[in-house]
Structure 1
C-alpha cells in the first residue's frame, strides 16, 4: 500500500544556525528566505534546537539584554524532529499536536538532512476523495482482505472514509480500519463494518 514518506516531500536545502549565531543574523535570514523558523545545529550538524520568530521576539522583549543575542540563548530545545523514512501522516500529527509549522528532518545520528513544512504535508492531504476511495478499494479491500471490490462500501468525503458492509471476521474489520487510517489523505475513518464471526483475521488460505 502506498505510504508517502517525509523524504519524498522535504526540502534538502535548509538554512540553519549555530549556537553562537547572532539573533540579528537569524532575523535577517528569516526575512530573506521568507521562513518563520530554522534549526540550530552543532559542529557535526546534529540538531540541538529550533528558533522561530516567536523565540526572537521573546528574546528581544526580555530584560536580560546582551545575554539573549545568540541562537543558543533563545532557541527552543529539545527540537521536535522526524526521520526521512517516517510517514507524512506522523509528521502532520506531530506538527498539529506541537503547534508548529515546520520540522527538521534528521538521520539516525540526529544530523540535519532536510526540513518539512506544514505546506509540504498539506499537499499530500489535499488528495481528491475519488483517489483515496480507489486506493482503499484496490489496496485494502481487494489486495489485503482478498474480497471483491463491491464487497465493502467505501465512501469518502473531505478525506473522511466510511467503511460499511460485512467481512469475514472481527480481525478483518480491525485490519481494514487500521490500514485505511494509514492511507495518504485520510483524515478520519468511520467504521460501520460488521463481522460474520469473532476471531482474528488470518488472511487467505
Structure 2
C-alpha cells in the first residue's frame, strides 16, 4: 500500500542563496519570492543551512541597543547577538540544516518537523543536493484528497489486495476523510487489521470500525460473538 510521500507535496521551485550572499540580498530574495525561509546552498546545490525570518529579525531586534559581549552571557543571547552582527548568509544561517528526502512519507516528515521544532524541511537527494522544500502547509495537502479517492484506496488496496476481503463482506463509506467500515468477518484479528490499515491510507482523518466478527482469535477468553471492534 503506497502512502503519500514528501515528493508528492513538496515545492520544487526553491528560492536559495549562496553562503556569501549579503543580508540585504537575502531579504530581497525572501520578499520577492514571498517565502519565510531560504536554504543556503553551495555550487553543487548541497544544502549548507537554512535562513529563516527569525534569523534575520535579530538584527532588527537589537537596532539601537548596545549588544556587545557580556561577561556572563547565556547561549540564547549569544546566538542573538552573533546573528544581529552577521552580514552574510554563512553567519546568519542555522546549520546543519534539518533535511528530508523525497521518498520520506508525509507522516515521518511531520514527525521530524515536530521533533526539530521547524516549519519546513529542505528536500535532498542521495548526494545531499537540494531538490525541493516542504512546509507544514504542504504536508496538510494530503487531507485535501477527495473522499472517492480515499475510498478507492481503502477498497482496492486494503480490503482487496492486502486482505482479500470481498465487497459483500465489508462496506466502506468516506465523509470528509472519515472512513466507516461496516460488515462482518470470521475473525476479530481480520476486522482489527482492516481498520488499522485503513487508518494508514493517505488522507484518512479517522476510522469508525463497525465490523463484527464470529470468532475472537485475539482474546479467546473474552469471546463475544458479533461485537464490533471499536473506534480508532
**Aligning the two structures, in what range does the TM-score lie when normalised by the shorter sequence?**
0.7 to 0.9
- Measure, in 1, the Cα distance between the counterparts of 2:208 and 2:94: 38
Greater Cα shift, 121-130 or 63-72:
63-72
Change (3 A) 1:20 1:60: farther
Kindly indicate whether the alpha-carbon contact (under 8 Å) linking 2:189 and 2:216 is maintained by their aligned counterparts in 1: no
Q: How many residues align?
A: 199
**Aligned CA distance change for structure 1 residues 80 and 58 (closer, same or farther; 3 Å):** same
SS at match of 1:76: coil
2:31 paired residue number = 31
Quote how far apart the aligned CAs of 1:106 are.
0.5
1:59 and 1:74 in contact (8 A); partners too: no
Name whichever of 168-177 and 8-17 sits farther off: 168-177
| 1:129 Cα offset (Å) | 2.4
State the alpha-carbon separation in 2 of the partners of residues 77 and 19 from structure 1: 11
TM-score, reference length from structure 2: 0.70
Q: CA deviation at 1:171?
A: 4.3
- Find 1:198's aligned residue among 194, 217, 224: 217
CA distance in 1, matches of 2:205, 2:112: 14
Q: How many angstroms does 1:100 deviate by? A: 4.1
- Is the counterpart of residue 147 in structure 1 residue 165 in structure 2? yes
Given that 1:60 and 1:68 are in contact with CA atoms closer than 8 Å, whether structure 2 keeps it comes out as: no
Within-5 A mapping of 1:32-181: 32-62=32-62, 63=67, 64=81, 67-95=85-113, 98=116, 100-173=118-191, 175-181=193-199
Larger Rg: 2
Moved more, 2-11 or 126-135: 2-11
Map 1:178-193 to 2 at 5 A. Answer: 178-193=196-211
How far 1:42 sits from its partner (Å)? 3.7
- TM-score computed with the length of structure 1 as normaliser: 0.78
Shift of 1:191: 4.3
Structure 1 gaps, min length 5: 200-205
1:159, distance to aligned residue in structure 2 (A): 1.9
CA distance in 1, matches of 2:195, 2:109: 20
Give the distance between the partners of 2:183 and 2:130, measured in 1 at CA: 46
